[in-house]
Structure 1
Amino acid sequence: MTSGQRRLQPRKQPRQVRAELTRKRILDAAAHIFTEYGYAAGTTNRIAERARISIGSLYQYFPNKDAILLELLTLHLEEGRAAMALGQDGELPESLEELLRVFIRAQIENHQDDPRLLRLMIEQVPHAPALLDRIQQYEQENFDYFRALFGRHPEVRVTDLDTATRLVLSTLHFGVHPLVAAPEPVDPVRLENEMVTMLSGYLKAG
């Protein structure tokens, strides 16, 4: 592990409830501070003050604010993974439109909590190898799942399922992220309806 990688690693992995709560307080405080002050002015001192802990206690968990931001983005990715895996443990709608709506809505809702923080994470997060590996794994899991889902759906008529799957997932990612995180975001209901119409029409076209 390089020194650059080490400086982005959390220093302390909580093993007790109290430690986990402290870590969560730091992350919650950082989300508020980064959103309120921006990343440059969102210092670790401000984060510690907001979390009501000493700066020394904060540094027991994270070496710097880059590591905190990286952890926030990692949690966001994990929430996205859960949102996109909705159908793995339960029944999905039969119609292609409603099937797509389930996943599109989940993706939009996952980005609505704090669009300003999402925009900041997209623009400022360090490009750490560990994060890039995690993103690649997340994207491969999504591809495998949706490739199989579209492959067995009777309404899907496209012949090149690999390309179609990548196009749908790219549209979900690059369509939802910037439109929800924009200074003037698109109405979520309208965005959901338009994306359902666009993607279902493409998959049915053959």
Structure 2
Amino acid sequence: MPDKRLRPRKRPGQQRAVETRQRLLDAAARVFSEHGYRAGTTNRIAEAAGHSIGSLYQYFPNKDAILVELSAAHARSGVAAVDRLLDGGALPDLLDDKIRLFVRAAIDNHRDDPSLHRVLFEEAPRPPELLDFLHASQLRAVAAAEALLDADPRVTVADVPMAARLVVTSIESQVHRFTADTDLENVDAFENELVAMLVRYLTPM
């Protein structure tokens, strides 16, 4: 179901317009982080960006369309982080270290602005195009995890394909929830416990 309300009005081609659009997005991230979804109005965003509300509406029809853009950028950043790990050469030999790399990549993608990520995770709309991207990204991550687990002699869980899915979704959901609900002071303890939980599940014998 395409929804024009959730799509940007135009994609700028000239450098000045590209920079204006990015300033609006950066300002929106600050506003949503500081004020939350309800008080993160387009007027506040335009003011924070140093532009008129009319200028904002040239690029975005409403604040939900801006949130969709921020959510998509966040999702692309997470996918890029995983791709860098997979394409960066040899992974660590130890299973614990492999799992820790992917847990830490997910944490790093959230720790810069937990307040913003809380809004993105809990209140941002998700149009079909974004859901399709998230679904395809998850399928790729699960396939990569299955290949890694299948090649690791320490993994003894009976159903490796299901285990790969559970590892990927557990990291995604647990990191999302942790970073949304806490101030990240005990992030090292969280990382250690999540890695230990997943390794214990993957090596039952």
Mark yes or no: TM-score above 0.5: yes
Aligned twin of 1:52? 50
Q: After alignment, is 21-30 or 84-93 more displaced?
A: 84-93
Describe how 1:48-197 pairs up with structure 2 within 5 A. Answer: 48-85=46-83, 86-185=85-184, 187-197=186-196
Task: Render the CA deviation track for 1:136-168: whole Å, top value 9, x for unaligned.
Answer: 111111111111111112221122111101111
For 1:160 and 1:74, how far apart are their aligned partners in 2? 32
CA contact (8 A) 2:111 2:184 kept: no
Partner SS state of residue 125, structure 1 = coil
CA distance in 2, matches of 1:24, 1:92: 35
Provide closer, same or farther for how the CA distance between residues 155 and 17 of structure 1 changes in structure 2, counting only shifts above 3 A: farther
> Identity rate of aligned residues, in percent?
48
2:145–2:164 Cα contact (<8 Å) kept: yes
In structure 1, the gaps of 5 or more residues are: none
> How far did 1:97 drift?
0.7
TM score, norm. by length of structure 1: 0.93
Question: The residue matched to 2:39 in structure 1 has which SS?
Answer: coil
Q: Which one of 19, 23, 26 corresponds to residue 25 of structure 1?
A: 23
CA distance in 2, matches of 1:140, 1:205: 25
Q: Secondary structure at the match of 1:26?
A: helix
The counterpart of 1:8, out of the listed 2, 6, 31, is 6
1: distance between equivalents of 2:101 and 2:156? 20
Unaligned runs of 5+ in 2: none
- Taking only aligned residues, the RMSD between alpha carbons, in angstroms, comes to 1.5
For residue 7 of structure 1, give the secondary structure of its aligned residue in structure 2: helix
